[in-house]
Amino acid sequence: MIGIICLAAVGFLACVDKKPSTDEKLDTQELTKNQEEVHGIEIKPGEIQLTHPLNAQWVTEGKGIYELKCQACHKLTNEKLVGPGWSGVTQRRKPEWIMNMITNVDMMLETNADAQKLLEECLVRMPNQNLTKEEARKVLEFQRNNDGDK
């Protein structure tokens, strides 16, 4: 069907005596490129400094974010619910891996082998829960606390 339309269009273009006017056309495609992204800036290795002792305020705030946006799928034990349990996650993964997974999940699922393996196991794409980088950092601090870091 589309093929026919295309052929017809080609036929039209070849046959019409006057070419379609080249009116200045609004390039709506450009607009998609300029979409505001509140997430999606990749966090590079070494960018996140882990410090001791833990930032107690971040732990508390990270717990609040966890309860609001993460708890539906992640337990604090090592038991898998929808996603893997969080116990030991800060030992298994690099800080930037965890934070990219939170703020930049589409990129991770496209490029990171470990993330792709998790998708195969869990079958649910981890939702982008629209956390800022700062909020993701607080969740990481809460995870460190959950793993017994001091």
Partner 1 sequence: MNISFKKTLLYLGLITVNVSLLYSCKPRGAASAVSGDAASKVYVAPGKYDEFYDIVSGGFNGQIGIYGIPSGRLFRIVPVFSQSPESGYGFSEETKPMLNTSHGFVPWDDLHHIALSVTDGVHDGRWAFANGNNTPRLARIDLSTFRTSEILEIPNSAGNHSSPFITQNSEYIVAGTRFSVPLDNDNGDVPINTYKQNFRGTVSFVSINPQSGEMSIAFQIKTPGVNFDLARAGKGKSHGWFFFSCYNSEKANTLLEVNASAKDKDFIMAVNWKKAEEYVKAGKATKESVKYAHNIYNEKTHSATSTLMNEVLVLDPKDCPGMLYFIPCPKSPHGCDTDPTGEYIVGSGKLAAIIPVFSFTKIQEAIASKTFDGEYDGIPVIKYEAALYGEVLKPGLGPLHTEFDDNGNAYTSFFVSSEIVKWNVKDLKVLDRVPTYYSIGHLSIPGGPTRKPWGKYVIAYNKITKDRYLPTGPELTQSAQLYDISGDKMKLLLDFPTTGEPHYGEVIPASILFKKQRKIYKIEENEHPYAAKGEGQARVERKGKDVHVYMTAIRSHFNPDNIEGVKMGDVVYFHVTNLEQDWDVPHGFAVKGSNNAEILVMPGETQTLKWIPDRVGITPIYCTDFCSALHQEMQGYVRVSPASSNVGLSFSTGKTVPADTTKSVSYNQPRK
- 34 interacts with partner 1 by CB under 8 A: yes
Cα 5 to its chain centre, rounded Å, is: 39
d(CA 67, CA 4): 55
Binding mask 107-136 for partner 1 (x = CB under 8 A): ----------------xxx-xxxxx-----
Residue 126 CB-density burial (10 A; 0-12 exposed, 13-18 middle, 19+ buried) = buried
Identity of the residue, 20 or 46, whose beta carbon is nearer to partner 1 in the bound complex:
20
Q: If you search the block for the tokens 């200045």, which residue do you land on?
A: 24
d(CA 116, CA 111): 8
DSSP 3-state of 83? coil
- 31 interacts with partner 1 by CB under 8 A: yes
- 76 interacts with partner 1 by CB under 8 A: yes
Nearest distance, CB of residue 18 and partner 1, angstroms:
8
Interface contacts to partner 1, rule CB under 8 A: 5, 8-9, 11-16, 20-21, 23, 25-26, 28-29, 31-32, 34-36, 63, 67-69, 71-73, 75-77, 79, 81-82, 123-125, 127-131
